[in-house]
Amino acid sequence: MDLFTDFLLATGPADIGGAQGLQNLITRNSYFLKYLVSGGPGVKMCQGGSSIRGDVMIRESSTYTSYKPGEKMSWVNPQVTEDYQCYWRFSLDHIAYTDQEVMLNNETGGQYRSDVRIQAFIDMRKKINMRGVTSLIHGMEDELWTVPNYNEMELQGGRQVQSLALFSNELPNGLYADYDATGLVQGINKNTYSSWDNARVAYDEIGSISTGKHLFEAMDEIMMDLNYDQMPAMGAEYTDPTTRPQVIVTQKQGILDFKEALRTNQDWFRHGPDDPKYGAQFDGIQLERVNALETAEIYPTAEAQDLGDETSYGLWSDTNNTNLVGPDGSTNAGARYHFLDFSTLHKITHTERFFTYLDVKKPSNQATTNIIPIDSWHNNFCRDLRRQGIVYPGIPSA
């Protein structure tokens, strides 16, 4: 029994290392978490301190001047940065197994064979880890897109990690109702500093271009607002970056709408009877479907109120998708496209406590049960909200 526990603790983390490992172990169509824990620009590790802190320059105070030779100067040192912070959050999951699972399956025919025992251990480890790790990953994935709660996410006494909806939403002031009283996001007041906010552009058409703002037009506009770097062109030097740390995430219908827009009126120019297959990519940035966005209640319902006065949020809606603004003035009919930049958006993890297996525990009221907790210290953190954005269905302001 002790041999199996030692084996499990020694090899367990290998089952949850890397994006490919996550895809192999779990069962949804797509995951956003893979961008935040796969070792790329979306993951940052740190150690120590009661909170995660930094600063950002979101205002300007010019000290530029013209002068004559010998003229006296007035030297100033204006403070133009604002400090931001979020607090550590602590997550726990576990794997469990019984003495019977191990001891009744580690031998064959009553005879001891080391190769058989090792294979039995490997098979049991995979089965036990798969359940626990699936639960852990799904829990972390779902909490990425929860409805923002000020007390639970902003304050030190809270439990929840910061929702990514804080950093990419369609609300005019970028504040969910729970944040209106203070205006604080990561300790910086959005009402005081309007630039501490994500970009947002509304679209009104997904088919043929008409008087409404087309989906592609809205995406063109937000790309200019976000100022993302362009992908290297053909003939670029080998030293040029080959990938960008940006991605566009959306619902399943968002991918379908995007491809439909590409195919619209293709009869005018396609050659032959075949229907072309288009990839989901805009200006070099990949579009990804994220399952959690199809069940996340983070979008304003606004069915009886103007956008900006809403106090309740719900699932995204595909109602009247050819007329994205519903007859009652609602603006939640249609897919959302979240533009996210991992050079400034991170999963902050503790160097010593992320997906960490703790010592085995035996509950006092379950004589043969063994529990191994999986401990994680982390939070989601955005260093610059100006690099995040959303294209959403609604009445475009211009």
Amino acid at 330: S
Closest CA relative to residue 225, chosen from 44, 10, 386? 386
For 282-331, the DSSP string reads ETTEEEEE-GGGGT---EE--SSS-TTS---EE--B-TTTTSSS-TT---
Report field, pTM of the whole predicted structure over 0.95: no
Encoded amino acid at 375, one letter: D
Pinpoint the alpha helices (H) of the chain.
2-11, 19-25, 33-37, 99-103, 114-143, 150-153, 215-226, 252-263
Phi/psi at 333 (5° precision):
-95, 105
CB-based burial of residue 85 (10 Å sphere; 0-12 exposed, 13-18 middle, 19+ buried)?
A: middle
Nearest of 128, 111, 129, 108 to residue 119 by alpha carbon: 108
Task: Say which residue the tokens 């087309």 belong to.
Answer: 214
Q: Show me where the domains of the chain are located.
A: 202-345
Q: What angle do CA 223, 216, 199 make, to 5 degrees?
A: 35
Q: What is the pLDDT along the chain (398 residues), one digit of tens a residue?
A: 565 565 556 655 545 444 445 545 556 777 788 777 765 666 676 666 677 777 667 766 777 778 889 888 888 776 666 777 888 999 999 888 888 877 776 555 445 555 555 666 666 677 777 777 788 888 888 899 999 999 999 999 999 999 999 999 988 889 998 898 899 999 899 988 888 999 999 888 887 766 778 899 999 999 999 988 665 554 444 444 445 688 999 999 999 989 888 887 665 555 555 656 677 888 888 899 998 899 999 998 755 455 556 778 888 888 766 556 655 556 678 899 999 998 889 888 888 888 888 888 888 888 888 888 989 999 998 988 999 999 998 765 54
Q: How many beta carbons lie within 10 A of that of residue 60, not counting itself?
A: 8
Question: Residues with Cβ < 8 Å from 42, sequence gap 6 or more?
Answer: 35, 36, 245, 342, 345, 346, 347
pLDDT of residue 26: 56
Q: How far is CA 324 from CA 21, 191, 291, 299, 337, in A?
A: 39, 29, 22, 14, 14
Of the candidates 25, 93, 90, 126, which has an alpha carbon nearest to the alpha carbon of residue 357? Answer: 93
Helix or strand (DSSP H, E) at 281: strand 281-282
